[in-house]
Amino acid sequence: MLIDAMERFGNPTIPYIAAWRSDSNHIWYEFCGKQFHEMLNGNSEKLASAFREQIVNRYLYSRDGDSSTIVKVSKDKEQLDRMRPALRRMAVRTGQVEAVYKIEANNKPVWLKDMAKVEIFAEDNIILSFGSLVDVSSEMTLQETLEETQQQLHTNKVNLETLVEQRTQELHKSQLEVVSRLTQALLYRDDETGLHGQRLSEYCSVIGSAMGLGKGVVDVLREAVPMHDVGKVGIADAILLKEGPLTSDEFDIIKTHCQLGADLLQGGDSKLLKVAHVIALTHHERWDGSGYPHGIKARKIPLAGRITALCDVFDALTSPRCYKETWSFEKATNEITKLSDVHFDPQLVDLFMKNLPKIRQIHQEKTPEEEKNGGMRLAHKASAADA
């Protein structure tokens, strides 16, 4: 009578009653108004079974622990069929049911919010569920639309991040290509083999890693170091390729390659070009302040410049030059030790000596036999320490 009255006045709530025995999952009694029958295409013999057949999803909403965040747990029809006994036991234990079901009714989706109380009549071995179904299609359609929009935004964000990463890698690659071409241009003039830059990169990487620098920082250092002498592209061949000692004036011109290189690399936004700029400017500064171009001293010299300065001199000592024969590995390492706290950061010298096996391996692998065996190359330098 109550149900008839509700339907007569067009109440959107659909009340229902269902009963089953505690020792069976079979619902032996169920009752619901004609609105629900019509929604199920007039199938009224077994309402629960007809309803289950048309379920698409079941949503359970709950709070996430003690937070105010609402969590949605979604189960499809196949999952619900497997879980139904467990869900019914949970309803009996908690005394209530609350969930939202998406069904296909008359070839269109409908969302019904199910709210019910469950009571146990132990003496009659009966469990009774009485509740109501409320059409919440408008709200759920909006929610699904929002979720789809959020998913699309997330997908777009991931795609954008991927695109930015690709563009960043492409930019980095193009920067390396420019650096490589600049360095190659210098090699055509001042370094016949190009191995000086390769050895220098490896030596600096060893010291940077020993300093505890992160892999990313060491990688940037390795890539930036070959540009340390790029300013020499601005030095006239008559001076840069002069066979024999330089005059004082000529050496003053050679020393300008630090500022020239820094000017050439200045203004880059990437870490690579920023580090390369610092190295080009400061790799001839000395720990005691007697270096050039600005005579800065100790820790005021950037770390990248201090590392490059030490490794650059070591490689110059163990390479042929016009004014000297190639120094032996042992003689060169002794010279580095002697210049500790004078030309070089003493901490870096200590790290250099502790990593001599790695330094020796690089020297052996990347030094041509004719250079290991001594000899001079037709190039100039004012002194070993100024290589």
Q: Tell me which of 138, 167, 184 is where a domain ends.
A: 138
Q: Which of 138, 169, 184 is the last residue of a domain?
A: 138
Would you state the pLDDT for residue 385? 42
Q: What's the pLDDT band for 275 if we cut at 50, 70, 90? A: very high
pLDDT recorded at residue 204: 97
Q: What is the mean pLDDT of the chain?
A: 83
SS3 content of the chain, % helix, strand, coil (to 5): 55, 20, 25
Weakest mean pLDDT among 13-27, 95-109, 149-163, 307-321: 13-27
Give residue 304's pLDDT.
Answer: 96
- Structural contact between residues 279 and 201, judged by C-beta atoms closer than 8 angstroms: no
Asked whether residue 148 is assigned to any structural domain, the reply reads: no
362: domain range? 159-386
Q: Among 108, 138, 168, which residue terminates a domain?
A: 138
pLDDT exceeds cutoff 50 at 159: yes
- Would you say residue 113 lies in a domain? yes
Residues 6+ apart with CB under 8 A from 227: 179, 182, 183, 261, 265, 276, 279, 280
Q: Are residues 283 and 240 in the same domain?
A: yes
Render pLDDT for 106-146 as a digit per residue (tens, 0 to 9).
888 898 999 999 998 888 888 888 888 888 888 888 888 88
DSSP count for the chain of H helices, then E strands: 16, 7
Whether residue 346 has a cis bond before it, omega within 30° of 0: no
Verify that 217 and 353 share a domain, yes or no.
Answer: yes
Instruction: Average the pLDDT over 196-213 and give the result.
Output: 93
Q: What's this model's pTM, rounded to 2 decimal places?
A: 0.56
pLDDT digits (tens, 9 = 90+) for 327-343: 899 999 999 999 999 99
Q: In what order do the strands lie in the sheet with 108-121?
A: 27-32, 13-21, 126-135, 108-121, 96-105, 55-63, 70-76
pLDDT tens across 312-322, in order?
A: 999 999 987 65
Do 6 and 126 lie in one domain? The reply is yes
